[in-house]
Amino acid sequence: MGMKGYVMQLQPFSVNDGDGIRTTVFLAGCPMHCAWCANPEGCTQQLKIGWHIRKCIGCGACARVCPQGIGIDLNAEREKCIACGKCADVCPQNARVRMVQEADADEIVKQIQTHRLFYSYSGGGVTFSGGEAAMQPAFLNELTEQIYDLGYSMDIETCGLFDFEAVRPSLARMDLIFLDLKHMDPAQHKRWTGQSNERVLENMARLAELPAEVVIRIPVIKGVNADEENIRASAAFVHKILPHAKMELLPYHSFGKIKYEALGIPYDHPEFGRPTKEELEHLREIVRSEGVETADFR
């Protein structure tokens, strides 16, 4: 039995989270609460059950095993749910699913090993994501120590708000660190994520102490951070503190809507817009004009 942690899922065959074919480990918990978050289940370290109503055929198997007497409509009685997972075990349609579960580090590493051939043939490996991948420092350090010993490449995607010293052992084992920069303006950052960006910027500067390649990612959202001024200021800052880092601009998407639905949480953000290809390319040119190379893993 290994150390336990909260995990959303292990996603094999990922091709957007670093080089080659990777297994992405989504760890639960996040100190930010971004209004556009595509992984709302991962915002807290709590067991969570989802109900995908579009997959449900109304067979009633879930209701028959529920120790809390919850019927088919989970969202109507969600406050009673103790996330035991019994309904997910019997659902024939995968309409009831565990969206966050407690997992064992040794078991995760065993699963990761089953894909080792893909890593070696494609130059891939393992990527830690979330939620915030660094929110469970001891668990992350345990996982990265075991995977490092196996010799697999490791990358991490982080929002930048973490205890640097607590996760330094893991960061030092990474080949590539993706750090999200949501806004250069502290007040705007707080407005949209619930947190100031001061520590994010501090941690970003400290990445220079590590051997990993760094990619600063901006989720580009019209109505939030897609203005030229913000992108230029972000690129200038990156160039100043991490002259070898690249930047990747990712267009806003609302793919996470389905997860909000599964958790019974409303998602209604008409104020957020997706930049066009041309607008995004224009912003990439601004980044390059500030002396920062752009990257594209998507």
186 is a site residue for ligand SF4 (CB under 6 A):
no
String of DSSP letters for 151-193: T-EEEEEE-S-S-HHHHHHHHTT-SEEEEE---SSHHHHHHHH
131 is a site residue for ligand SF4 (CB under 6 A):
yes
- Of the ranges 49-57, 171-179, 209-217, 242-250, which one interacts with ligand SF4 (CB under 6 A)? 49-57
70 is a site residue for ligand SF4 (CB under 6 A):
yes
Please, which residue, 21 or 226, has the CB nearer to ligand SF4? 226
Tell me the three state secondary structure of residue 232.
Answer: helix
22 is a site residue for ligand SF4 (CB under 6 A):
no
Nearest approach, Cβ of residue 39 and ligand SF4 (Å):
5
Side-chain-side CA neighbours of 152 within 13 Å: the count stands at 32
Subset of 150-179 contacting ligand SF4 (CB under 6 A): 159
Please, which residue, 194 or 243, has the CB nearer to ligand SF4? 194
Nearest approach, Cβ of residue 57 and ligand SF4 (Å):
5
72 is a site residue for ligand SF4 (CB under 6 A):
yes
Which residue reads 């250069």 in tokens? 184
What angle separates helix 277-289 from helix 228-241, to the nearest 10 degrees?
40
Nearest approach, Cβ of residue 40 and ligand SF4 (Å):
7
Tell me the three state secondary structure of residue 227.
Answer: coil
String of DSSP letters for 261-279: HHHT-----TT-BPPPHHH
Nearest approach, Cβ of residue 78 and ligand SF4 (Å):
8
Q: φ and ψ at 180, to 5 degrees? A: -85, 135
Burial class (CB in 10 A: 0-12, 13-18, 19+), 230: buried
Please, which residue, 42 or 125, has the CB nearer to ligand SF4? 42
With CB under 6 A as the contact rule, the residue among 27, 28, 74, 295 that binds ligand SF4 is: 74
96 is a site residue for ligand SF4 (CB under 6 A):
yes
Nearest approach, Cβ of residue 93 and ligand SF4 (Å):
4
265 is a site residue for ligand SF4 (CB under 6 A):
no
Tell me the three state secondary structure of residue 213.
Answer: strand
With CB under 6 A as the contact rule, the residue among 21, 25, 28, 91 that binds ligand SF4 is: 91
H/E segment holding residue 62 = helix 61-65
Total residues in contact with ligand SF4, by rule CB under 6 A: 41
- Of the ranges 32-40, 171-179, 199-207, 271-279, which one interacts with ligand SF4 (CB under 6 A)? 32-40
Residue 104, both tokens: 């064992």
With CB under 6 A as the contact rule, the residue among 27, 32, 171, 207 that binds ligand SF4 is: 32
* Strand residue runs (E) in the chain: 4-14, 22-27, 48-51, 96-104, 125-130, 153-158, 176-180, 213-220, 246-251
* Contact residues for ligand SF4, defined by CB under 6 A: 30, 32-34, 37, 39, 42-43, 49, 51, 56-62, 65-68, 70, 72, 74, 81-87, 91-93, 95-96, 130-132, 159, 193
